[in-house]
A and B are shown apart, each in its own frame.
Chain A
Amino acid sequence: GQQLNQSPQSMFIQEGEDVSMNCTSSSIFNTWLWYKQDPGEGPVLLIALYKAGELTSNGRLTAQFGITRKDSFLNISASIPSDVGIYFCAGPPLGGGATNKLIFGTGTLLAVQP
């Protein structure tokens, strides 16, 4: 099945640092979603983007919908230990049919050292 290319695969940073990760696809998306998954839990939606060029913030998180509609970026400012987890991008590609069958990125594992 199709997957989105997400980078980096993992990041090990110090508390207080800023974090950037991105997601790219060969297909055009109308929606980009960013999720965070804590160990042993289901993914939780962080930010949803619906328009090319859109920049949306949720606290210390900022995400952007790329102009080409084939990529998206997530930034976390001033990281804290509870930011630890796996971050996934996701979206329903154009032509996905009657339902929004979500495709997921491969995930970015974030570790924050106090």
Chain B
Amino acid sequence: DVKVTQSSRYLVKRTGEKVFLECVQDMDHENMFWYRQDPGLGLRLIYFSYDVKMKEKGDIPEGYSVSREKKERFSLILESASTNQTSMYLCASSLRYTEAFFGQGTRLTVV
């Protein structure tokens, strides 16, 4: 079975902190994604990566950056956390042109 693991289920951070969300997949997938999910807004793509060190902006990249130094790991970075970044963050991975598999999600609260 494909396993996508996010480093934390719940996080509470202070405004202005630099926040790292980590995601690891064990199926040698080329693609990895970061989404955020908010009530009434569905899943919105923040960034995705189709290869090591390769990344592309999604629909809402502002305030975020990403890092993919190894194929199995994709990190989402909040440079300076703000309260409007309080959300559920979901990582996913996939082979090219196939279905994506999700991690369990990280619920981030910025106070």
Query: Which residues of A does B touch, CB under 8 Å?
Result: 1, 3, 30-31, 33, 35, 40-45, 48, 88, 90, 92, 98-102, 104-107
Contact = CB atoms under 8 A, between A and B. Distances in A.
What size tier do the contact residues of chain B reach? 20 to 34
A101 B48 contact: yes
A102 B104 contact: no
Given A31-B97, A31-B99, A98 B50 contact: yes
Contacts of A99: 30-31, 48, 50, 56, 96
B104 A100 contact: no
B43 A88 contact: yes
Contact of A45 (B6, B42, B97, B99): B99
Contacts of B97: 30-31, 92, 100
